[in-house]
Structure 1
Amino acid sequence: MKKKIKLIGVMLAFVGLDMIANPQPAQAAHNGYRVKVLKNYYKDSSENTYHANLKSKAAIWSGKRYPSDTQRDFQKRLYKVSKLKGVTLFVQKKARVTHKNTKAIYYYVADRAAGHQGWVRPSALIKGVSPYGYQIIKEKWGNQMATFHAKNSKQNVYIWNWRHTKKRANLKNYPASNMRRKATVTLRHNKKQSTYYFVTMFPDGNTPIRKSVSGYVAASQVEAGHNMNYSQIEYTSIDQFTDSADYSNYIQNGKKQKLAREIVKLFPNSPVDLGLSRIAAYDYDSFNNTSDGDPNPISKTGYTDIKVFSSIQKWLYAHETASNATKLTEIKQLLDKEGYTASKRASLSGYKLGIQIVNNIKGYDGESDDANHWNGYVLVLGRPDNN
Structure 2
Amino acid sequence: MSPKTTWLLIAGLAVTLGSLPTVTGHAAIKTNFTKIHYSEDAFSHNQFTNIAYHAKSTKKNAYIWNDTHTKKLYNLKTYPTYTWFKLASGTYKGNSHWIEVTNFVDSKRGWIYSPQLVKGFSTKGYQPTKRSYKQPTYAGGIYHVKSTKKNAYLWNWTHTKKLANLKNYTNQNYSRRHSVLITHQGTSHWYSYVSVTIKKKTINGYVRSSALAAGKTTNHQGQNILQPDAFVATKDYLQYLNDSKYQKLARSLIKLFPNTPVDLGLSQIAAYNFATNDTWEEDPPEEIATTGYKDIVPFTKVATYLMANKTKTNAQKLAGVEKLLDQAGYTKAKRAKLTNYKLGIYILNNVKGGKIDEAGNSLKGNWYGLIIGKTD
- Shift in Å at residue 173 of structure 1? 6.2
- Shift in Å at residue 285 of structure 1? 3.0
Contact kept, 8 Å, 2:127 with 2:158, in 1: the verdict is: yes
Q: Which residue of 2 aligns with 1:374?
A: 365
CA distance in 1, matches of 2:39, 2:250: 58
Q: Which residue of 1 aligns with 2:197?
A: 202
Q: 1:176 to 1:117 in 2, by over 3 A?
A: same
Higher RCO structure (Cα 8 Å, ≥6 apart): 2
Q: Which amino acid aligns with 2:187?
A: K
Q: 1:238 to 1:28 in 2, by over 3 A?
A: closer
- Shift in Å at residue 165 of structure 1? 1.6
Q: 2:91 aligns with which of 94, 97, 100?
A: 97
Q: 1:195 to 1:85 in 2, by over 3 A?
A: same
Q: Which amino acid aligns with 1:213?
A: I
- Shift in Å at residue 349 of structure 1? 4.4
Q: 1:219 to 1:27 in 2, by over 3 A?
A: closer
Q: Deviations over 1:222-263 (max 9, x none)?
A: 444444443421122222212222322322333422221221
Contact kept, 8 Å, 1:256 with 1:359, in 2: the verdict is: yes
Q: 1:166 aligns with which of 161, 170, 176?
A: 161
Q: Which amino acid aligns with 1:382?
A: G
Q: Which residue of 1 aligns with 2:180?
A: 185
CA distance in 1, matches of 2:206, 2:292: 42
CA distance in 2, matches of 1:165, 1:197: 16
Q: Which residue of 1 aligns with 2:114?
A: 122
Contact kept, 8 Å, 1:226 with 1:240, in 2: the verdict is: yes
- Shift in Å at residue 151 of structure 1? 4.2
Q: Deviations over 1:253-285 (max 9, x none)?
A: 334222212212222332222222222222223
Report how many aligned residue pairs link the two structures. 343
Q: Deviations over 1:298-328 (max 9, x none)?
A: 2223323322212211221122233322222
Q: Which residue of 2 aligns with 1:346?
A: 336
CA distance in 1, matches of 2:223, 2:30: 59
What's the TM-score, normalizing by structure 1?
A: 0.78
Q: Which residue of 1 aligns with 2:260?
A: 270
Q: Which residue of 1 aligns with 2:11?
A: none
CA distance in 2, matches of 1:278, 1:163: 43
SS at match of 2:80: coil
- Shift in Å at residue 105 of structure 1? 4.0
Query: Given the alignment of the two structures, is residue 249 of structure 1 paired with residue 239 of structure 2, yes or no?
Result: yes
- Shift in Å at residue 354 of structure 1? 1.5
Unaligned runs of 5+ in 2: 1-24
CA distance in 2, matches of 1:104, 1:83: 25
Q: Deviations over 1:193-244 (max 9, x none)?
A: 333221111347xx5xxx3211112335444444444342112222221222
- Shift in Å at residue 288 of structure 1? 9.0
Q: 1:355 aligns with which of 339, 345, 351?
A: 345
SS at match of 2:265: helix
CA distance in 2, matches of 1:98, 1:180: 45
What's the TM-score, normalizing by structure 2?
A: 0.80
CA distance in 1, matches of 2:222, 2:181: 32
CA distance in 2, matches of 1:234, 1:28: 53
Contact kept, 8 Å, 1:288 with 1:295, in 2: the verdict is: no
Contact kept, 8 Å, 1:238 with 1:278, in 2: the verdict is: yes
- 5 Å-filtered alignment, 1:209-224, equals 211-224=201-214
SS at match of 1:230: coil
Q: Deviations over 1:166-193 (max 9, x none)?
A: 2333446657444332223332223333
- Shift in Å at residue 57 of structure 1? 4.4
Q: 1:360 to 1:131 in 2, by over 3 A?
A: farther
CA distance in 2, matches of 1:274, 1:78: 58
CA distance in 1, matches of 2:106, 2:271: 44
Question: Greater CA radius of gyration, 1 or 2?
Answer: 1
CA distance in 2, matches of 1:296, 1:27: 49
CA RMSD of aligned residues (A): 3.0
Contact kept, 8 Å, 1:26 with 1:36, in 2: the verdict is: no
Q: 1:53 aligns with which of 52, 56, 60?
A: 56
Q: Which residue of 2 aligns with 1:62?
A: 66
Contact kept, 8 Å, 1:289 with 1:296, in 2: the verdict is: no
Unaligned runs of 5+ in 1: 1-22, 64-72
Query: Given the alignment of the two structures, is residue 332 of structure 1 paired with residue 306 of structure 2, yes or no?
Result: no
- Shift in Å at residue 162 of structure 1? 0.7
Q: Which residue of 2 aligns with 1:137?
A: 129
Q: Deviations over 1:318-375 (max 9, x none)?
A: 2223332222222212111111111111222432222111123331515322122232
Q: Which residue of 2 aligns with 1:7?
A: none
Q: Identity over the aligned pairs, expressed in percent?
A: 36
Q: Which residue of 1 aligns with 2:308?
A: 318
Contact kept, 8 Å, 1:171 with 1:177, in 2: the verdict is: no
Q: 1:379 to 1:35 in 2, by over 3 A?
A: farther
